[in-house]
């Protein structure tokens, strides 16, 4: 016999019994977990289906050639009994009238009520529709909402249209079915499209039967109408802009720089870009910038020293309204940082450390600059005196 052999421990009977009970409990637990779940409630055969009442094909017919995205159905709450597709929504990408981009517009249909279930509401579907119309008319009395309610013929048995600045909705009833179609406002086509969607949806419903096939497809739009760009132009027409070289002539420069030689002016042309669906560029016929190079030669300690300045006149903006003119001048003041006010030059004027004077008078904003001498304090001070003198002569010519 091997003295080092280990004998198996003897387990007491109560421990074996507990193990058996544990195994039985595990087996019982596994059996309970494997039980099949209760069957889900299904919609009645005659229930409406919002995405069948307003399929994607209807949206594509009303917005030909435009991308359409399905947002899918929304099921009714379980509290109403068997679930059904209560609403359906789509997103249409439509061209913006003010840029080259497209933006999203929503189209949706909601089943407001169907059948005569007391859970949905009291009375008949006709009573419910009258209650909905009364409630919406009451809301429309608030002038801050800018809602308009009007009856709509030819859609189901009764219908009305609700129009706001952002949305057009049609509430319509056919027998025991009440639906609401909604379109985000886009163009003059929106009311007609919302009505067509509601009319076509109700053609797919037969009271007492439920969903049926439409007798004919929805009428296709020939094209998607792009709304007109109704924005007010912030800039006056190009032919009204003044001539920069007429506002600061060689005679004006000679009067302020009598001790210097003045070169012929260099003219700069400009353009106005009217941003819209298709940007329109308009050439400004007269120069908006006029640059004069002035110089003289001095003798300093037996050496010839050239003193030069760049004298420039720029038409910065000719606004369409006084409000736009003031707004532009405030923005340019912040960008250029001309922090020192200058009096006696138009409606308002400021000068910066680079000897640039910005002037606003009425609708017109201009800038007069005398550059040079930035590294010579005495020369820079002379340039400052001369830019003020030039600005006074220009301001006297501003309309």
pLDDT at 231 (0 to 100)? 85
Cα 252 to Cα 265: distance, rounded to the nearest angstrom: 12
CA atoms within 13 A on the CB side of 231: 13
Confidence of residue 318 (pLDDT cuts 50, 70, 90): very high
Q: According to the model, what pLDDT value does residue 117 have? A: 59
pLDDT digits (tens, 9 = 90+) for 374-387: 778 888 899 999 99
Determine the Cα–Cα distance for residues 8 and 280; give it in Å rounded to an integer. 98
| pLDDT above 90 coverage of the chain, percent | 67
The radius of gyration computed from the CA coordinates of the chain, to the nearest angstrom, equals 40
Give the C-alpha separation, 181 to 62, whole Å: 14
pLDDT band at 15 (very low <50, low <70, confident <90, very high): very low
Quote the pLDDT of residue 48. 96
Q: What are phi and psi of 20, to 5 degrees?
A: -65, -40
Q: 300 versus 287: which is more confidently predicted?
A: 287
pLDDT digits (tens, 9 = 90+) for 218-265: 999 999 999 988 888 899 999 999 999 999 999 999 999 999 999 999
Please give the share of the chain, as a percent, with pLDDT higher than 70. 87
Task: Give the CA distances from residue 369 to residues 23, 186, 243, 256, 266, in Å, rounded to whole numbers and listed in that order.
Answer: 97, 48, 17, 13, 14
* pLDDT for the residue numbered 398: 94
**Both tokens of residue 193?**
């499209």
Q: Mean pLDDT check: name the lowest of 23-27, 195-199, 309-313.
A: 23-27
* Residue pair 98/133 in contact by the 8 Å Cβ criterion: no
Residue 27 has pLDDT above 80, yes or no: no
> Is the pLDDT at 71 greater than 80, yes or no?
yes
Structure confidence at residue 44 (pLDDT): 74
Whole-model pTM over 0.75: no
Identify which has the larger pLDDT, 108 or 41. Answer: 108
pLDDT given for residue 232 in this prediction: 83
| pLDDT at residue 122, rounded to an integer | 63
pLDDT at 116 over 90: no
| DSSP assignment string, 359-382 | EEETTEEEEEEEE--TT-HHHHHH
Output the average pLDDT for the chain: 86
What is the average per-residue pLDDT within 122-135?
A: 92
pLDDT tens figures, 342-352: 999 999 999 99
């Amino acid at each position: 016999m091997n003295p080092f052999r280990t004998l198996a421990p003897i387990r007491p009977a109560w421990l074996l019994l507990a193990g058996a009970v544990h195994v039985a409990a595990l087996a019982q637990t596994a059996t309970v977990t494997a039980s099949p779940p209760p069957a889900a409630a299904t919609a009645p055969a005659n229930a409406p289906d919002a995405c069948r009442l307003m399929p994607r094909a209807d949206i594509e017919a009303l917005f030909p050639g435009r991308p359409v995205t399905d947002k899918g159905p929304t099921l009714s709450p379980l509290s109403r009994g068997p679930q059904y597709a209560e609403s359906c929504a789509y997103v249409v990408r439509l061209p913006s009238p003010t840029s080259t981009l497209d933006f999203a517009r929503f189209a949706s249909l909601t089943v407001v009520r169907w059948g005569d279930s007391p859970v949905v509401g009291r009375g008949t579907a006709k009573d419910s529709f009258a209650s909905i119309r009364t409630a919406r008319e009451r809301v429309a009395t608030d002038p801050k909402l800018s809602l308009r309610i009007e009856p709509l013929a030819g859609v189901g048995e009764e219908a009305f249209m609700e129009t706001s600045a952002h949305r057009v909705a049609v509430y319509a009833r056919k027998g025991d079915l009440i639906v609401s179609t909604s379109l985000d406002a886009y163009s003059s086509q929106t009311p007609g499209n919302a009505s067509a969607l509601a009319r076509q949806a109700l053609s797919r419903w037969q009271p007492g039967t439920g969903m049926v096939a439409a007798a004919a497809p929805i009428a296709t739009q020939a094209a998607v109408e792009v709304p007109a760009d109704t924005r007010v132009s912030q800039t006056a027409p190009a032919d009204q802009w003044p001539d920069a070289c007429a506002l600061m002539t060689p005679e004006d420069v000679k009067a302020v720089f009598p001790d210097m030689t003045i070169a012929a002016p260099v003219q700069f042309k400009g353009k106005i870009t009217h941003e819209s669906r298709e940007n329109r560029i308009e050439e400004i016929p007269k120069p908006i910038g006029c640059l004069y190079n002035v110089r003289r030669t001095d003798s300093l300690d037996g050496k010839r020293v050239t003193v030069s300045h760049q004298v420039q006149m720029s038409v910065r903006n000719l606004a369409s309204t006084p409000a736009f003119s003031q707004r532009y001048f405030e923005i340019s003041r912040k960008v250029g940082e001309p922090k020192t006010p200058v009096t006696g030059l138009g409606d308002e004027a400021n000068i910066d450390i680079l000897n640039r004077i910005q002037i606003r008078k009425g609708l017109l904003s201009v800038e007069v600059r005398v550059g040079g001498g930035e590294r010579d304090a005495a020369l820079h001070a002379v340039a400052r005196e001369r830019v003020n003198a030039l600005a006074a002569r220009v301001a006297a010519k501003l309309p």
